[in-house]
Structure 1
Amino acid sequence: MKKSHVAIVLVALLAGVGLGLLLFDDDDAPATTAGWIPPDPTGESVAAGLESYYEQDLGWEECGRNQCTWVTVPVDYDDPAGETTRLRVSVVPADGEGGRSLFVNPGGPGGSAIEFADQFAALVGDDVQQVYDVVGMDPRGVGESTPLECFDGARFDDYVAQDPTPDDPEEQARYVQEISELAAACEQNSGALAAHVSTVEVARDLDVVRALLGEEKLDWFGASYGTQLGATYATLFPERTGRMVLDGAVDPTLDAFESAMAQTTGFQRAVESYAAWCAEQGDCPLGDDPAVGVDRLTSFLAALDVRPLPGLGDRLLTEGIAFYGVALPLYNEGSWDFLSQALELALDGDGSGLMYASDLYFDRQDDGSYGSNLGQVITAVSCLDSTDRPELDDVFAQVDRFEQASPIFGRALAWGAAGCSAWPFTSDDPAPQLDGAGAPPILVLGTTRDPATPYESAVALAEQLESGMLITRDGDGHTAYTSGNQCIADTVDRFLLDGTVPEADPRC
């Protein structure tokens, strides 16, 4: 499905992005209940060779207001006696008596579930906060778990800044070389882990953690790519699946180009919606005519390919960096004011606003380091999950179709579909057809003008899952639950609290 490098990154739901860029200072973080007692493991039967992982003793410790532990899992589930890796797990205790664990994941792949758990716990309904301990397990290779290490900060700067729309054979060769060099760096710095960060392996990790937390069923809230992870778990372990919510769903059946085309359509809808909104506000940097404004933005991005603008410090705003700088604010309608301010600066020759947004997207720090490896993990995971690897000739045959669908995003996303062409690793544990056969009802949430995971993908996933139930939000932005739509919030909360499934899509 998703491919690197542009097409992959644009589907990421960074922790906080889908939550209105919610950021906490430590003093502002939500309080949690003291005295949380870790549950006993379930003691269930497991596959031969994995017993020690399901029976390991956990050493719990306070981590701020939460409780944290380390869990050991095999790097390769086909070789459980071989090399291992560590997962970091954080539990945000319920405000009340608790009694159930709700596992969460923000997407990516590569977003930190630990960071997301804190934010999610502060935003769910009060009744849900009374019942659920919110669990964040950073996936293998991600966040506080043993990280996948590839490029250093300076080298990744170059990777992000590269031309996303290579125009000539030299630029196209460099595009492929960048992917090859990223893979080589991952293998050199992370060894076997680079070939074992697939979605199926993360789903198997979730089952180990579920059992160690004493839960017979996995209750789950997954956003964006987290919907694919949840659907994978429900397919592998339907009898162990509890109440599952998949928000901002992806369609796992799409090949590389059709997945990229879905995103192209979604982002074009989003930018047109933004341009119309901007024109209504008055003093829009793109002008009063939304169609003309979209054309102006298209021309601006293309001009950066020839003449980058001054950005932050001594860094230049390239077309590649600006691409992410425009994409990030489109995830959330609450960020459109910022996008207008950044575009006003950029059209006056100052690229600092768009570069700031790009840096926020990738969690780039002021010292040039990166607080997250999402921009690299996302390629490793998506390419391991991929079954088709388009080559450059395939892009040439598709690029006109993509540009017609979106003059702004189409060309870059068409090239992004070939982002796994030089990836050397393949998964020994390929993803099954995701149907969740035998699992209880699963809510699948889709937003009509979601830029990153278009509404059509939610419709498709709900149909593919045997027990899928589509819940529609009519609106803008990425994901639905924390969008401020009370109809959506009530529907999800009732489901999490007592398993209530609507008789039909409420179309909120």
Structure 2
Amino acid sequence: MQRTRRRSLIAVGAVAAALSLTLSGCVTAFFPSDDAAPSSTPAPVADDLDEDLRPFYEQQLSWESCEGDGFDCATVSAPLDWENPSDGEIELSIVRQRALGGDPIGSLLMNPGGPGASGYDLVASSVDFAAGDALQENFDIVGFDPRGVDRSDPVECLDDAEMDAYLYDLPENETGTDAWIAEVEQSASTFSDACAANTGESLEFVTTVSAARDLDLLRAVLGDEKLNYLGYSYGTFLGATFAELYPDNVGRLVLDGAIDPSASIFDVTKAQSMGFESALSAYLEDCLGSSTCPFDGTVDEAKQDIGDLLASVEQSPLPAADGRQLGSSALLTAIIYPLYSADSWPYLSQMFEQTMSGDSTYAFFFADQYNGRDENGEYINNQTEAFSAYNCRDYTFDPNVDLMREKAAELAEAAPVIGPYMAYGDISCSTWPYPEQAERAEIHAAGADPIVVIGTTNDPATPYAWAESLAEQLDSGVLVSYEGEGHTAYNKGSDCVNAAVEAYLVDGTVPEDGLACS
């Protein structure tokens, strides 16, 4: 891959990945009155709760109006270290749209994925995209930034210029050589050291297990005896982890675009390489049937053209007006970004046509959108930093060079266009200042209420097989399948999926296990 940094797996921020192509502006809800934001009464806590945790669970939230009519914001104090809750605290930022119907069932917490995507922004700026009318009528819709993300004691690593270098600078040596690996290791070390220095002690505790414990705290201080939750993409892993830790506190959970919690980092990388390769084939099949397609011939011939384009910019990068050079890594990011949604395929065609003519403008626009970089060269969020912080603790990595080369060959065989540029990801976390938190394992959540798992049959970022696996692992898992393209399924045009999700969350009607939607 052309960038010095190696991404160990593609970010799986379900909603966030495609938002800027489809949404703009802030959603404002109508409320019948401008009364002050009501306070929350914490849910009763268990008698055997650790005394050091009791102040956190019994805190009263102070809501303030924000983000336009009908939105309230608050901060929640959480333990820095859940194993030692008296050692300090962090602040979690939350935003709430009160139930439009005025008589909420309770709170519905939402997470858009990542790891590192902002649930606060999801609700404050795009609530209509995230939740249909039935959910907004019946629930207080609550978005939150998990620890380490954006407004919640964020992971901080590099300034804008340094982030540009980290994401876009081109290496001096040939991919896969010892000299190239040394370059990547040095880049990873510089990044890790900066994260440790600029974030401080909270970096150690940016893990999914800690975030899941925060989720139970949010449930309690919002006044809900059980958690109602809609998690997309990585948010499914967060929700499943919560269910494993607190099965008795599981209310109505919907996990859309599921991650297999038992998959290793290489399993994930290989599955995603194949998933995006499959999505690329689907795009090309659709494209070749139109008069505006920049490719000719068969799907396989067009894929060869794309592979040749990636190889070409690796050897001879295309310049941008701001001085950056478009290499294969940035171009791969530009290809992947619109593959998250079939609605974005026409933009992908325009990007290919422009890039093949020697113009990198559109490709850099897509890569920048994916990386959270605006037109002024400023990074508007910390998703890259938070993504690394979570994954480097949540997975186990092996930077053995011989093994990575074997895996690189396997990726290239499994996904000939995408796979070669997703190899060597173990290097990116090899210098992280804190070791992995735990081995990946199945999640069963014994004793939990039904948990609905949704999988899309040609989802590139979270392949359908992961939804099948998670639903089977969960003792109370219920699988809903959507036959279609793109990442995640709820509120994306399927009346069948929407009805199943909303009937469960609003009325508690459990969908038929194995329900197939189109």
SS in structure 2 at match of 1:305: helix
Q: Distance in 2 between matches of 1:360 and 1:12?
A: 14
Q: Distance in 2 between matches of 1:132 and 1:86?
A: 24
Provide the aligned length of Structure 1 versus Structure 2: 503
- Hey, what does 1:324 align to over in structure 2? 333
- Hey, what does 1:386 align to over in structure 2? 395
- Hey, what does 1:91 align to over in structure 2? 96
Q: Distance in 2 between matches of 1:183 and 1:135?
A: 32
Cα deviation for residue 283 of structure 1 reads 3.1
Kept in 1, the 8 Å contact 2:155–2:389? The answer is no
Q: Distance in 2 between matches of 1:346 and 1:21?
A: 19
Kept in 1, the 8 Å contact 2:6–2:184? The answer is no
Q: Distance in 1 between matches of 2:31 and 2:169?
A: 44
Cα deviation for residue 178 of structure 1 reads 1.7
Q: Distance in 2 between matches of 1:331 and 1:135?
A: 25
Kept in 2, the 8 Å contact 1:16–1:119? The answer is no
Unaligned runs of 5+ in 2: none
1:158 aligns with 2:190: no
1:113 aligns with 2:119: yes
Cα deviation for residue 325 of structure 1 reads 0.7
Cα deviation for residue 23 of structure 1 reads 2.4
- Hey, what does 1:498 align to over in structure 2? 507
Q: Distance in 2 between matches of 1:390 and 1:254?
A: 18
Q: Distance in 2 between matches of 1:391 and 1:313?
A: 37
Kept in 2, the 8 Å contact 1:106–1:223? The answer is yes
- Hey, what does 2:106 align to over in structure 1? 100
Cα deviation for residue 313 of structure 1 reads 2.6
Q: 1:168 to 1:198 in 2, by over 3 A?
A: same
- Hey, what does 2:408 align to over in structure 1? 399
Q: Given residue 23 of structure 2, which amino acid in structure 1 is its aligned partner?
A: L
Kept in 2, the 8 Å contact 1:15–1:113? The answer is no
Q: Given residue 42 of structure 2, which amino acid in structure 1 is its aligned partner?
A: P
Q: 1:428 to 1:277 in 2, by over 3 A?
A: closer
Q: 1:435 to 1:254 in 2, by over 3 A?
A: same
SS in structure 2 at match of 1:280: coil
Q: Report Cα offsets for 1:341-366 as digits up to 9, x if no partner.
A: 01100000001101100111111022
Q: Distance in 2 between matches of 1:431 and 1:338?
A: 37
- Hey, what does 1:73 align to over in structure 2? 78
Q: Distance in 2 between matches of 1:472 and 1:339?
A: 27
Q: Distance in 2 between matches of 1:215 and 1:163?
A: 50
Q: 1:243 to 1:267 in 2, by over 3 A?
A: same
- Hey, what does 1:263 align to over in structure 2? 272
Kept in 2, the 8 Å contact 1:261–1:414? The answer is no
Q: 1:7 to 1:32 in 2, by over 3 A?
A: farther
SS in structure 2 at match of 1:21: helix
Cα deviation for residue 129 of structure 1 reads 1.6
2:314 to 285, 288, 305: 305
Q: 1:286 to 1:6 in 2, by over 3 A?
A: farther
Q: Given residue 12 of structure 1, which amino acid in structure 2 is its aligned partner?
A: V
Q: Distance in 2 between matches of 1:32 and 1:494?
A: 24
SS in structure 2 at match of 1:133: strand
Q: 1:23 to 1:32 in 2, by over 3 A?
A: farther
1:55 aligns with 2:43: no
Kept in 2, the 8 Å contact 1:264–1:402? The answer is yes
Kept in 2, the 8 Å contact 1:196–1:427? The answer is no
Q: 1:214 to 1:392 in 2, by over 3 A?
A: same
Q: Given residue 39 of structure 1, which amino acid in structure 2 is its aligned partner?
A: S
Kept in 2, the 8 Å contact 1:70–1:89? The answer is yes
1:478 aligns with 2:487: yes
Kept in 1, the 8 Å contact 2:14–2:488? The answer is no
Cα deviation for residue 312 of structure 1 reads 4.5
Cα deviation for residue 418 of structure 1 reads 4.2
The 5 A counterparts of 1:120-131 are 121-123=127-129, 124-131=131-138
Q: Distance in 2 between matches of 1:30 and 1:344?
A: 40
Cα deviation for residue 483 of structure 1 reads 1.8
Cα deviation for residue 430 of structure 1 reads 7.3
- Hey, what does 1:172 align to over in structure 2? 181
Identity of aligned residues (%): 36
TM-score, with structure 2 as normaliser: 0.93
Kept in 1, the 8 Å contact 2:256–2:488? The answer is yes
Cα deviation for residue 147 of structure 1 reads 1.1
1:424 aligns with 2:423: no
The 5 A counterparts of 1:418-497 are 418-426=427-435, 433-497=442-506
Q: Distance in 2 between matches of 1:19 and 1:460?
A: 28
- Hey, what does 1:334 align to over in structure 2? 343
Q: 1:237 to 1:468 in 2, by over 3 A?
A: same
Kept in 2, the 8 Å contact 1:260–1:417? The answer is no
Cα deviation for residue 500 of structure 1 reads 1.1
RMSD: 2.0
1:13 aligns with 2:13: yes
Q: Distance in 2 between matches of 1:247 and 1:5?
A: 27
- Hey, what does 1:345 align to over in structure 2? 354
Q: Distance in 1 between matches of 2:266 and 2:299?
A: 28
Q: Distance in 1 between matches of 2:123 and 2:260?
A: 24
Q: 1:256 to 1:127 in 2, by over 3 A?
A: closer
1:199 to 200, 204, 208: 208
Cα deviation for residue 388 of structure 1 reads 4.0
The 5 A counterparts of 1:135-146 are 135-146=142-153
SS in structure 1 at match of 2:96: strand
Unaligned runs of 5+ in 1: none
1:132 aligns with 2:133: no
Kept in 1, the 8 Å contact 2:15–2:232? The answer is no
Moved more, 106-115 or 398-407: 398-407
Cα deviation for residue 82 of structure 1 reads 1.5
Q: Distance in 2 between matches of 1:86 and 1:505?
A: 40
Kept in 2, the 8 Å contact 1:30–1:118? The answer is no
Kept in 1, the 8 Å contact 2:393–2:437? The answer is no
